[in-house]
Structure 1
């Protein structure tokens, strides 16, 4: 793309304004818009689901509306690099949007809950594609000096969506017109898809011959997520544990198959225990896993601290807002400052979870006494937000040019997989802590204590993985690795 040639040797200091300058502004709107569409949809549907089951039934399948969406999103993310290789960025975005719209229409017209579940699966497939394509297209349309800022802006859309989604969903639920929530997504999606195919590159710059799909790995990945999700739905800790154990065994088998496969799901070297990519992906997975305590925050705030559902929901969103703030503050730092941000992220997450461990289980906090909980949520969100742009950027830098698209899809695949696993583990720990038996305030307090205590393990392990990444990076000679990569990037452009 000739429009990017002058920026290859651009100054090392690129500001936020460059994301909104000229053609970059259109790219920024499209990439941010796709993630926002996906995220707002998640929060809207979470809010209206009680109204849905009240109208068409299906309470016994309630959790599967989210489970199937997550599974489909993981599949969509895993398939995104192949789609991008085959049809280019513009058509890939159009295809993702078409799937998203089709899913919304199925949900909007569903006469029964099983058909709505089918719509959620189709929607999730499109949403996963949108999420993964955003990371993939960043490196195609921006110079490298803008990568971390663009990724930070994409991350920020989740925080924005926490303000829009629950409010919009609440309006539709209050008016008892839940079908309109799905219909409302259609015109925005159509406009978005039209703009995307008009402005984004229509040809891929990565590989001449796209590789076939890694079908065995995708099958094992799906089976693992289905198993852990099915186990997490049960109120019986034995079923929770069984689902987690079987899913872990499937994940181990997935790793073994991936190691020996010609067609891979992850970039080359990701499973090399002596490499840097494995440390980066491990950090992403651990930080995302540690964040899954947030799914119980609204419940704890209502039962233990007397907050209304609306207030509890928005207080819980402080973690997402912290992620947004951290990403915006951290993005755009130099390489060395970015490494420091990666090393700092788990410390903030760990500190936030410690504050929540000390404050959430103690019942009765109101008004200003909720301050420690708010601080803990913000700290945890800040931690992952500070590290995220640089984790993603360094994954790209550590991946061969021929596998950059695969790296982008892998980031989202690992993120969503860690979300599913983390949510299942959180459910298991909360059940063991007594959230349903004995239940009530006593059960909630016990569950919160055990949940936040157990959650400290993930960011603590994250501290180890980022240290290993930094040590391995320092051991290598930067010039010998970066110059060929930079030359390859310039020749590709």
Structure 2
């Protein structure tokens, strides 16, 4: 089938799938952004500042289990069950969090929600692989990336408005209510998407390794918030757990960026780690070192979200450059953006330069992320689409968890040094960014 012969994403057959899928992705984005905005108020209201880090770390950790389970489940039985259970867990977790009487209960709700988001996010990839013509895959993944733009723009102010008017609980409850109709729109596309003969089998043991990795990722995140011997012991144990489990969860050679699919998976994780490590501290840098208000500092992230969407739109055009060219350009832009944005810690560097740099990083992510998704499906046999799609997102979570924990621990140790702490954080983020540039040269079809 040629690209010209493929129907549009909003044609009669694909319209409800496209709208429902984009709505689910957008709701996941809104939840992530809005909850981050509301969480300080939540922690005070529930007297749970001690469990603050855990409330963020648990969903990241449990999402790894959901991603692996969804990949194996989708390949063996089709994506329908993983999608339905994932949305149900996502909604259930949000309801528990929104009605939580104490911070530990909210943390449990967040854990269930993370498991659900891991399930349905991977299942969506498999649905796209099997229900959407290959010629439209770039456009669908561009639509997924664009689904983050509106939440990035309206999420923080809307969350603030909800907190100040009807209360913080509605940040969770609103997302839960809206997820149900979005899931119902995807439902028709799930019918008839069966599993692949011979898929599954020994892959189910990967779920056990995912649990090990999840425990390690959660412990690593928590260790970054502690001090002294306990932090060192917990962090060392967490690193060992992640290091032992990762090879069982990722394609062989991914940790070494071996040519072909392993390099694609590696680039995805490296880009995620570099971008998120810099993004986490950039608003704080601009606020503390350059005197910008929190609102203005947050708008820098919005600028990157807009350019991310623009890059995703461009890569989905028929006349866009080759996948290899897009990926190399994208990784280079992320590297330049991380270094340029971090350079604003120097008084001599205009803030506008940092803003442009971070917008360039967003553009690079927009070019690279959908490209990596398309390459993953192109390099996967039908019976491996679920497992490889889950590996793509597992790399996201694990690489980001490790680098964010290292950045957070380093920042906490140097926070009394002011600008030095931010410079050190940028240096850490620059390492996976450079590694992504090098690994991008090995991504694509492996030689026969």
2-structure distance, mates of 1:349, 1:206? 37
Deviation per CA, 1:71-111, whole angstroms, max 9, x where unpaired? 12221111112333465444432222211111121112211
1-structure distance, mates of 2:306, 2:229? 35
Seen in structure 2, the aligned counterparts of structure 1 residues 444 and 132 have a Cα distance that, compared at 3 Å, is farther
The answer to whether the 8 Å contact 1:47/1:166 transfers is yes
The structure with the larger Rg is 1
Q: How many residues align?
A: 445
The answer to whether the 8 Å contact 1:229/1:243 transfers is no
1-structure distance, mates of 2:257, 2:423? 34
Which of 427, 433, 440 is the equivalent residue of 1:459?
A: 433
Deviation at 1:360, TM superposition (A): 3.0
Q: Are 1:62 and 2:47 matched, yes or no?
A: no
The answer to whether the 8 Å contact 1:362/1:445 transfers is no
Seen in structure 2, the aligned counterparts of structure 1 residues 319 and 246 have a Cα distance that, compared at 3 Å, is farther
1:2-401 mapped onto 2 (5 Å cutoff):
9-11=1-3, 18-85=8-75, 88-175=78-165, 177-207=167-197, 210-211=200-201, 212-234=204-226, 236=227, 243-255=234-246, 258=248, 265-267=249-251, 270=254, 274-291=258-275, 292-332=277-317, 337-362=322-347, 369-401=350-382
Deviation per CA, 1:188-209, whole angstroms, max 9, x where unpaired? 1221222222343343253366
Matched with 1:430 is 411
Counterpart secondary structure, 1:63: helix
Deviation at 1:130, TM superposition (A): 2.4
The answer to whether the 8 Å contact 2:216/2:241 transfers is yes
2-structure distance, mates of 1:246, 1:166? 36
1-structure distance, mates of 2:258, 2:428? 28
2-structure distance, mates of 1:419, 1:341? 22
* TM-score (norm: length of structure 1): 0.83
1-structure distance, mates of 2:207, 2:78? 22
Structure 2 alignment gaps of length 5 or more: none
The answer to whether the 8 Å contact 2:68/2:207 transfers is no
Structure 1 alignment gaps of length 5 or more: 1-8, 259-264, 478-493
* TM-score (norm: length of structure 2): 0.91
Deviation at 1:334, TM superposition (A): 6.7
CA RMSD of aligned residues (A): 2.6
Matched with 1:450 is 424
2-structure distance, mates of 1:318, 1:238? 40
